[in-house]
């Protein structure tokens, strides 16, 4: 059985998503959790791009030459919006970690949780 190029791309994208998910679960450092979330987000966006990729469609720009089918710009706008929202969430989480680092000498989750026991 031969693996096609698409199969390998899908495997790489799913591996990226899985690595990010496992990083969120198993990493103790908060900064590493944020980086793992960014890796997982990148994998999900790559999956959407891979699923939406098609050949034979043209960019929806008006030119003199007649084209038969145009690509839908809405999914492209949604992916760009997802990238911007992911970046802003990552920046907000890093600000939260910076504020948390002022009160704690470490960013390890277990140590921080022990310090806040009632």
- The residue range of the domain holding 110 is 5-55+72-115
For residues 111 and 73, give the distance between their C-alpha atoms in angstroms, rounded to a whole number.
Answer: 47
- Would you say residue 84 lies in a domain? yes
Residue whose pair of structure tokens reads 């990493």 in the numeric block: 27
What's the pLDDT score for residue 1?
A: 47
Residue 109, pLDDT score: 84
Q: Is residue 80 part of a domain?
A: yes
Residue 28 in domain: yes
pLDDT at position 64: 74
Domain count, the chain: 1
| φ/ψ of residue 115, rounded to 5 | -70, -20
Residue 117: per-residue pLDDT: 65
- Predicted confidence at residue 103, as pLDDT, reads 82
Count each helix (H run) and each strand (E run) in the chain, helices first: 4, 0
Give residue 112's pLDDT: 82
CATH number, domain containing residue 42:
1.10.287.3510
pLDDT (tens place) for every residue of the chain, 118 residues total: 456 678 889 999 999 999 999 999 999 999 999 999 999 999 999 999 888 877 777 777 777 767 677 777 888 888 999 999 999 999 999 999 999 888 888 888 888 888 776 6
């Amino acid at each position: 059985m031969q693996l096609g190029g698409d199969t390998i791309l899908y495997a790489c994208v799913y591996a990226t998503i899985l690595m990010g998910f496992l990083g969120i679960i198993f990493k103790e450092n908060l900064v590493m959790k944020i980086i793992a979330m960014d890796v997982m987000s990148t994998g999900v966006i790559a999956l959407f791009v891979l699923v939406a990729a098609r050949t034979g469609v043209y960019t929806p720009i008006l030119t003199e030459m007649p084209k038969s089918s145009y690509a839908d710009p809405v999914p492209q706008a949604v992916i760009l919006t997802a990238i911007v929202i992911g970046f802003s969430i990552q920046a907000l989480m890093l600000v939260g970690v910076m504020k948390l680092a002022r009160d704690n000498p470490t960013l390890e989750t277990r140590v921080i949780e022990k310090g806040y026991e009632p």
